[in-house]
Structure 1
Amino acid sequence: MRRVIGGRQFDFARRVAVMAIVNRTPDSFHDRGRTFALEHALTAVRAAAEQGADWIDIGGVPFAPGPEVTPAEELDRVLPVVEAARELAVVSVDTYRPEVARAVIAAGAGVINDTSGLRDPAMADAVAGTDATLVITHSLAAPRTLHPSPHYDDVTKEVCAFLEQRLRVALDRGVRPEQIVLDPGHDLNKNTLHSLELTRRLDEVCALGYPTLAAISNKDFIGETLDRPQSERLAGTLAATVFCVLRGARVVRVHDVRAAVDAVRMTEAMLGWREPAYTRHNL
């Protein structure tokens, strides 16, 4: 569980990486274009690093359906942010396009976050032979594609089977085991009951033997469970984040960086993995 990612060391046996989200998209799931303008994206990158983010995940195309974004447009959106962020934290790029992956790795990205789950196996080719980490995510449909009313007989078993199959694709194409992180894909082609079940049994995903990423921040399964709109899901997100860490997640993808960092670091301390910043009370 010891990894070097983006030139930084991580011991996932005793630490959890907090991944901040910076989207250069006008139609992003949560921030609705707040960081679409380059200057706003760069400000968000600096703020995330100052607030303790270990990784910064940069997206140029949302997973959900929307207007066409060409590979050239995607690169125009993400490359300047990659170049600005690479000295501040591990840079991740959320993309399903191999040509984009190659370009951002060359620019200094340490992680490719493929929410398509290697739907294009050439993504594995783009990562193989580099030092980049590949996040393999479960989803039933391709990005930008509707998939209403998804059905599973056993969502956790089916997600694990999918991830194992895509793992074999990556390894067969030369991606090293130490380059791989798995993401069960909360809410991606899943309803709220599916995501809750997957969270409850996240340890089964972690048992596949690779660091597991939980991308649960402000998602609809939290909103529907608590009857909260997008702007009021922080408490639910923090509860889900801590629960996922206790179930084995070692990377958490979040919008509200400072609050998530505090929740994760406090969890690490209670597990005996981290010393307090200082001790003065009753001494």
Structure 2
Amino acid sequence: MVKDFKIMGVLNVTPDSFSDGGQFNQLDAALVQAEEMIAAGADIIDIGGESTRPGAALVSIDEELSRVIPVIKALRQAHPDLTISIDTSKAEVMDVAIHAGANFINDVNALEGHGDDDAIEVAVKHDVDVCLMHKKGLPENMQDNPEYDDVVQTVLDYFEQRVEACLSYGMDPDRIILDPGIGFGKTLEHNLQLLRNTATIKQMGFPVLIGVSRKSMFGDLLNRNVDERLPGSLAVAQFCYLQGADIFRVHDVQATHDVLTTSHHLIGMNNE
């Protein structure tokens, strides 16, 4: 039975990411971690050189490139057919990363760039898959009492606007993936409302990516430290998978793979 989900393994080559900052910001350590995730079932390796955690500082283009490009090049050489994602909001980084071997853009700014459409142009030029994420505010202020009249409708409206912008530049709609941006300018209740409505987001007609692995919502919900949040992360992954989510961005690849594979076979048995 062919699986109907993909797992995106998180590889932060940063000193300050919330869960694994500083663990993989040396090339050898990053490559070892990538190989372990691939062996555990990762379909995509998502490489980020700038933390987007609440309160994170901005990183220069040169610094971000110096972090991600050696990892992308080495990983592409070792795995010619692997999907390698560049986790960035900078058009210049996207362009250089794709030339180095990346073939997927994961952008928390949904290709909005810095008041221009350069990021969309890069994505269209290279014809790669793109993940458009919703967030409210900037990392330094996005968790300062975010408010919405209707968070689900706000996210749907935002996606409609960003998809229209991408299509207006000639992007292939089959390249577009949507991420509701759990934890990016949302309270715990906002996060829960969006997760409960995964199927509603999926009805827009695009694959849905869910990224909740080890996030602070589990600290709020369960009073668990970062290294104690796997059960909560797995519960959300299974819940969203059963609503039709397609891609799961996680730190714990093997555990997520096993939960979703088991769920997949149970669903298959029910449909026989």
For the criterion TM > 0.5, the same-fold answer is: yes
1:13-53 CA-to-partner distances (Å, cap 9, x unmatched) read x6100000000100002113211122111111111111110
The answer as to whether partners of 2:10 and 2:249 remain within 8 angstroms in 1 is yes
More helix by share: 2
Q: 2:159 is paired with a residue of what secondary structure?
A: helix
Q: Which residue number in structure 1 is paired with residue 46 of structure 2?
A: 57
Query: RMSD of aligned C-alpha atoms?
Result: 1.5
In the superposition, the TM-score normalised over structure 2's length comes to: 0.92
d(CA) in 1 for partners of 2:167 and 2:185? 25
Q: 1:36 is paired with a residue of what secondary structure?
A: coil
d(CA) in 2 for partners of 1:32 and 1:130? 30
**Structural mapping, 1:215-234, within 5 Å:** 215-234=211-230
d(CA) in 1 for partners of 2:241 and 2:44? 16
Aligned-pair CA distance for 1:161? 0.5
Aligned-pair CA distance for 1:157? 0.8
d(CA) in 2 for partners of 1:85 and 1:111? 14
Between the two proteins, the alignment pairs up a number of residues equal to: 260
The answer as to whether partners of 1:49 and 1:89 remain within 8 angstroms in 2 is no
5+ residue gaps, structure 2, are none
Aligned-pair CA distance for 1:105? 1.1
1:66 partnered with 2:66: no
d(CA) in 1 for partners of 2:157 and 2:56? 29
Q: 2:14 is paired with a residue of what secondary structure?
A: coil
**Structural mapping, 1:1-283, within 5 Å:** 15-64=4-53, 65-86=55-76, 87=79, 89-120=82-113, 121-142=117-138, 144-147=139-142, 148-272=144-268
Q: 1:91 is paired with a residue of what secondary structure?
A: strand
5+ residue gaps, structure 1, are 1-10, 274-283
d(CA) in 1 for partners of 2:152 and 2:253? 28
Amino acid in the other structure paired with 1:105: I
The answer as to whether partners of 1:71 and 1:97 remain within 8 angstroms in 2 is yes
1:194-225 CA-to-partner distances (Å, cap 9, x unmatched) read 00111011111111100000011011112211
d(CA) in 1 for partners of 2:40 and 2:168? 39
Q: 1:112 is paired with a residue of what secondary structure?
A: strand
1:200-252 CA-to-partner distances (Å, cap 9, x unmatched) read 11111111100000011011112211111111000110010000111111000
d(CA) in 1 for partners of 2:213 and 2:223? 15
**Mean CA deviation greater in 247-256 or 86-95:** 86-95
Aligned-pair CA distance for 1:258? 0.8
d(CA) in 1 for partners of 2:264 and 2:255? 14
d(CA) in 2 for partners of 1:163 and 1:113? 15
d(CA) in 2 for partners of 1:16 and 1:244? 11
d(CA) in 2 for partners of 1:110 and 1:188? 24
d(CA) in 1 for partners of 2:112 and 2:51? 16
